[in-house]
Structure 1
């Protein structure tokens, strides 16, 4: 008995379809029994090597033996044709083939038709495209003789059955592989698309990618916007050392863009060094780099979206004896598209975050400017107002008294503008924390009504409230809610002519609380309504312009409503009145007592 050589078991994936393996086992046992041979075996070609899948009449460890495909192809070329079968007499046997064979222990008989232990009889199996897919072999005839024409006829029938079973086995294996790859690819994409940053996208998928393709490692490079600032991540089983990928960036980046245009996935190794767009000197440089980091074969996958290449993925294997299958290449191409989409999404999110960050900084700067300006204006304004109050107006003539009164009114308006600017800055400050507490809106409305009562009476306007008997609680800041309702109510009173009416209503509606302020005032045009909540906007209605205002009151209201996660709506008709509806989320734990 001769020792057998073996190809590394890491170079081929386990045969998944156990049911088909059993069918092939029945076949080889039938050949051995009915065709009169002691031994038989079926070999399938998968992943670039050939594996003995089923055998009869030999030791159990013979199944699983891996044979290089080129050895079998050379043996077929060296054989005599016996119909569907091929025969290689012992004197022509390839020494390499002996290293993968199970040599029967028998003594040759006398005669020209005697079977020699090193004789080889097998039927090569090809698919419909003429590609070599496997072999059915027999050995050690029971009568010790070469097969007669009658035995060859029986063997030919078995060869036809073997071809059918082998092709079915390979088709089912390929289908199983496609299902597995599709399932794992979906998991890769799910993880990648769920991450908000590019670094997390790369980190989320790298280990799963390696396991999905039965690789030993990978590296993934995402191009920076404008072609600069590439981001690279790598992963290798059992290693945390990052190879110097930058040494070959110039070559692989160029290839990535070309291969994305062609939608081409490149299996690269010494056996497949000739690739589109890759000059021989660059191929030699890549091979030297892979040799240095201990890699024998890679699958180069471009990534992108639409017409834009966004990077590339490289999957690695130690040996090039196992080829990258068509199923793996197709799955890798799809994953390249999906990862490209994930990279594009992460880029967009990063751009949006950058814009938000710039806006936040701009808001902070604006708040600081307004606060500084407001406080700087307060001091001279206070001094001016104090001096105006100290004037003995009774000793002034009529014209001087009018001038002092005008200056006092101007100072009052300026003080109102400054206070509103500071409040606006406070409400707009992104650094200002919001810590809501339970607030009964009925109490706030009562306080606002009392505060605005004097202004309503002076203007000849009736101001009334319609409130429920039970507490109506929202989560918010009491002082901000008070400011919001005060601004809305005072606006309604200010723009309502004498004899008119302002009504404040509060109503709970499920998970929300609706506050409605109705007036019978001068109304607002549709054109003005579109800009009403913008800072410093004043109405174009002449009847409104004659009434004093800073143009900041409703902008402050909008900021407060937004801080409270609410909405504000406005319904108005010129000369018929205005309704403002503020909707706020109700407080979930109503812990405010009726008292």
Structure 2
């Protein structure tokens, strides 16, 4: 919406937002350019050289065509226009962009425009509009990056929680590590790990794992250094990113650092993340995650998540020492989950009140008497409010179905009737895109055991996705079948499809596709996560078959209603 607004209201044919990544710049979204331009990656060196050639135009930077480097042009979309024969004519190779810095002054992205409609370089009034949009772009980019970081944090935290659930209750440290080692190394893009636990009698036990390598390095050579660091770092809640480039850490003398580096060089490790393990005030050991080199570097998100895992694995090690602690750890995790559910519920309900006030005031505006620009602003605000409402509803739904304290008492539900209700609700959305929604369902009721509201939400989310990501005039096929013991419902569309890497993450909370065509459509990243939670609550399974650019089929399999196992009334 932002890049389209810049192009429309600032008088340019083209605009784009580019984000800085660790090794390059990624053109995230673009308006007024051919499909495929969004997603282009530009080397850091090329963009930094171009910025050094730019003139300062307030918050914007201008590079005249005679200074533009050939390397940047290779990654650019060049408008097919002929410059005007005037002094302030805009040349197709001219560049105008606004650097977007965070509060610490770090460059996080760029807002760029090209091809002014009047064919001239922007004047003072046009620059005022551009300056305003640069401020809006900065805010939106920082919010998007914050959300991206939050999503990554949620991913790693969820995986850590899964690791704890696997590890808790194992009778030995070796079995604890075997239950979680693959997940830990994959989560952190590591090649291996070693874990040392401190027993109550003062003896240390070390277990290691390396992808494709069964050799055990002589860890005892450095025990005197790392054991001392583990106790200090657990007290300080400190995680050490250690390598040749980062050898200085609290409590680590230079001589000890040199010993550690020599040891790592000998076993072929270039970088480690040293994580203390513990429970409460007691240090129970340490975890070391390893990489061959210092690239990519361990991020702040990874360090924070590693410390969380250190806490969780500390509890798992404690369980290996004393199985009776399992109940206390489980109670602690349930309290955390309960607090999270309570927090999400409170946040959702508190946001509803100001959102309702804002929406009500927007509806009171006499839009007919407003100018075109004001009407567009009101429409944009209304769309934003609607998206916020959708996010709040999804958060509350996710909190409700994920609440471990919420009892699940299934009713006897006619899934055919629920599906027909959903089809009627989605009819207008499909008709607006001239789509043909075809439903193949038995004439008789199709019974399952479950919650009618949750099953309705599940089918509505799948139908909404099929309509949203399918082109105008396409067909959507919905098929409901019932065998002796299972019920299946499948939504098949001929939409944009889903890449294989994205399919592996579809049911993760807050996940949005990496496909620019999918990102261009509004969404919260919660729809399929809600579907997955509902299906699992109903002892079912959801499967996705998709090809990028050819369409998607999402199938849900649920147990058929068994009257011998339930006396639930019909719904």
Q: Which bracket does the TM-score occupy, shorter chain normalised? A: 0.3 to 0.5
* TM-score (structure 1 length as normaliser): 0.46
> Which has the larger Rg?
1
* TM-score (structure 2 length as normaliser): 0.48
